[in-house]
Amino acid sequence: MAGIVEKGIEAIIKASGYFTSLIVLLIVLFLFREGISFLGSEPIEEGYALYTSKSNPVQKVTATQIKDIFDQKILLWSELGGSTDSIRRYELDDLKSIFSESELEKNFENGASCVRKLTDSIPGSLILIPKAAIASEDGLHKVHTDKIDLTEFLSGKEWFPTAKPAGLFGSLPLFLGTLLVSLMAILIALPFGMAGAIYLAEIADQKIRNILKPLIELLSGIPSVVYGFFGLVVIVPWIQKTLGLPVGESALAGSIVLAIMALPTIITVSEDSIRTIPSDVRQASLALGASQWQTIVRVLIPYAASGIGAAVILGIGRAMGETMAVLMVTGNAAVIPHGLAHPVRTIPATIAAELGEAPYGGLHFKALFALGCILFLITFITNYIVDSISRKRKLK
C-alpha cells in the first residue's frame, strides 16, 4: 500500500513539473509570436494610405519622413528626391470641405475619383485617407512606406509609437536605458549584498543574526510601489540637491532604488549559501594557519560561488524586470542616455505605461510585445553569462 501511495505522489510531482514547464514554454511562445508579427508591418496608421500626384516621382518614404512632413519640418518634395513642388497635405476632413456631399456621396463611394481629381489638379498634394474610402486604386499613385525590420527596430533612436500618421518604433533608447539602470544597480548592490551576507554568516553573533535576518527578508516582501515612493520623496530630491540638477529623476535615482530592492535577495541567498558550507571546510582552513578573513575570501566565497551566482542572477532579474519603482524615479524619457544624471526610460516601464492605451492587436500593441522579447533575451543572456562564470569559478 505504501509503495502505491509513493508512486502516486511521484506521478503527481512529475506531472506538476511537466505541466509547469509546458505553461512557461507556451507563455514564451506566445510572447515571441506576438513580437515577431510586429516585424514586416508598415508603420503607417492602420487602415490608412497615402496618395500623391501621378507625376510625382517619389515612390516610398520612411516613418520619420512622414512624421516630419506632418510636423511641417519637410516642406518640399525635393527633400525626398522628388520635384520642387511644395508639399500640400490633405486629410479626409479636407476632402469634405473641398468637394460637395453629392461629389463624395454618402459613404464616400466616389472617394477614389475625388482623390484623383485633387492629385491631378495639385501636383504637390499628399493625401492621407482611410483605405475604406478608396474603392479602387486605379489611376492613383500610392506612396509606400518602408516596412519595419529588425535592424531598424533595434537601432532606431526615436520611440514615438503614437505619432500620427506613422509611428516611430526605435527601441535603442529603451534598450540602453534598461542596461544602464540595471547593471549600475547590480554594481551598487553586489558589494553591499556580499558584505551583508558575509557579516550575517560568519561575523555576527547569533542574537544579532536572529534580529537582522528576518528584517532583511521582510524587505523583499515590500511592494515595489513603496520603494518608488521612497525614491521619489527621498532619493530624487537628494540627487537633485547634491548634483545641482534641474530635476532629480534620472538613471542614477533608478539605479539606487533598484539596488535597494535587490539587496534583500542577494543577502539572503548568499548568506544561506555560505552558511551551508560544511564546518569541516572552515576548520581545515583555520588548521592550516589561515586567518578568518583569509578563510572567508579564499575558501568560503569560492566554495559558495554557485549560490552567490544564483543570488546575482535573482538580483539581476529583479532589477531588469522592475516596473513601477523605475517608472516613478527615472524621469520616463525615451531618449538615448548620456549619463547617470539624465532621465531615461526602461523597457519594463514602457510596457507598463503604454500597454493599457495600445489598441489590442494593433501595431503599437505588437511593438510592446517585441520589447518584451528583447527584455526576455537580455535577461536570459545576462543570467547565462553570470551562471557560466559562477560554474567556472567553482571548478577552479
What number of other Cβ atoms are within 10 A of residue 339's Cβ?
10
| The pLDDT of residue 239 | 92
Rg (CA), the chain: 29
Backbone angles phi, psi at 353, to 5 degrees: -75, -30
* Within a domain: 236: yes
Identify whether residues 137 and 269 lie together within a single domain. no
Angle between helices 305-321 and 172-198 (to 10 degrees): 140
Last residue in a domain, options 132, 147, 162: 147
Identify whether residues 195 and 143 lie together within a single domain. no
**pLDDT tens sequence for the chain (396 residues):** 667 778 888 888 888 888 888 998 898 888 888 888 888 888 887 788 888 888 888 888 888 888 888 888 888 888 888 888 888 888 878 877 787 766 666 556 667 788 888 888 888 888 888 887 777 777 788 888 888 888 888 888 889 888 888 888 989 999 999 989 988 998 899 889 888 988 888 888 888 888 888 888 888 888 888 999 999 999 999 999 988 888 889 999 999 999 998 888 889 888 888 888 888 888 888 888 888 888 888 888 888 887 887 888 878 777 777 888 888 899 888 888 888 888 999 999 899 888 888 888 888 899 999 999 998 888 888 777 777 766 665 555
Identify whether residues 135 and 239 lie together within a single domain. no
Identify whether residues 284 and 346 lie together within a single domain. yes
| The pLDDT of residue 8 | 81
Identify whether residues 210 and 293 lie together within a single domain. yes
* Within a domain: 161: no
Last residue in a domain, options 147, 163, 191: 147
Identify whether residues 238 and 136 lie together within a single domain. no
| The pLDDT of residue 172 | 92
* Within a domain: 79: yes
Identify whether residues 265 and 391 lie together within a single domain. yes
Angle between helices 172-198 and 363-395 (to 10 degrees): 40
Identify whether residues 347 and 210 lie together within a single domain. yes
Identify whether residues 98 and 177 lie together within a single domain. no
CATH number of domain containing 343: 1.10.3720.10
Cα–Cα distance, 221 to 227 (Å, whole number): 11
Identify whether residues 111 and 236 lie together within a single domain. no
Backbone angles phi, psi at 299, to 5 degrees: -120, -60
Identify whether residues 240 and 378 lie together within a single domain. yes
Identify whether residues 196 and 297 lie together within a single domain. yes
* Cα of 137 vs its chain's centroid, Å: 40
Structural domain tally of the chain?
A: 2
Domain assignment of residue 352, given as a range: 172-395
| The pLDDT of residue 368 | 92
CATH number of domain containing 84: 3.40.190.10
CB of 91 closer than 8 Å to CB of 66: no
* Cα of 48 vs its chain's centroid, Å: 28
Cα–Cα distance, 102 to 100 (Å, whole number): 5
| The pLDDT of residue 120 | 81
| The pLDDT of residue 173 | 93
| The pLDDT of residue 176 | 92
Q: What distance separates the 2 farthest-apart alpha carbons in the chain?
A: 102
* Within a domain: 28: no
